[in-house]
């Protein structure tokens, strides 16, 4: 085989190839956005894009999945702490946004309710 031969002869480039706009292409490296993980469950290290998404996830998980009521103990721009409405129950979810982070993360979780019903 001749070293000077090219593969261009075997494969024809479409005539309108130069008319395509490739400036908007993006590469998917297979990494999911971290807050897409475990959307229907709250667990330690669950992450959320913003406080509204985090609060909504906790609310849906506790009321729909666990079928329990909770009260907000602390809600600030950097922390969110909820507990069971019954003081003797250890249920708690604590989430915060780290000093150098741009997402919310569940740091503490006691998902077992000691109370029988609310």
pLDDT tens, residue order, the chain (118 aa): 555 555 556 777 777 766 767 666 666 555 555 545 555 678 888 888 888 988 988 888 887 777 778 889 999 999 999 988 888 888 888 999 988 888 888 898 877 766 765 4
Distance CA 86, CA 71 (A): 9
pLDDT of residue 67: 75
Distance CA 31, CA 27 (A): 11
- 45: which residues sit within 8 A by CB, 6+ positions away? 105, 106
pLDDT of residue 118: 44
Tell the residue number behind the tokens 């024809």, with chain if given: 12
pLDDT of residue 28: 57
Distance CA 80, CA 106 (A): 9
Chain centroid, CA 92 distance in Å:
20
pLDDT of residue 49: 85
Tokens of 28: 């998917």
pLDDT of residue 86: 84
Strands 47-48 and 92-97: unpaired
pLDDT of residue 96: 93
CB 110 within 8 A of CB 92: yes
pLDDT of residue 98: 81
Burial class for 42, CB neighbours closer than 10 Å (0-12, 13-18, 19+) = buried
Distance CA 114, CA 106 (A): 21
């Amino acid at each position: 085989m001749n070293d000077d031969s090219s593969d261009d002869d075997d494969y024809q480039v479409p005539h309108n190839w130069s008319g395509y706009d490739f400036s908007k292409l993006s590469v998917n490296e297979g990494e999911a956005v971290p807050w897409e993980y475990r959307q229907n469950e709250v667990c330690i290290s669950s992450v959320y894009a913003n406080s509204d998404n985090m609060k909504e996830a906790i609310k849906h998980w506790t009321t729909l999945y666990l079928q329990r009521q909770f009260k907000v103990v602390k809600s600030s721009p950097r922390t969110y702490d909820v507990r069971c409405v019954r003081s003797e129950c250890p249920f708690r979810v604590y989430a915060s946004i780290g000093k150098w982070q741009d997402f919310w993360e569940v740091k503490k979780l006691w998902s077992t309710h000691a109370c029988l019903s609310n």
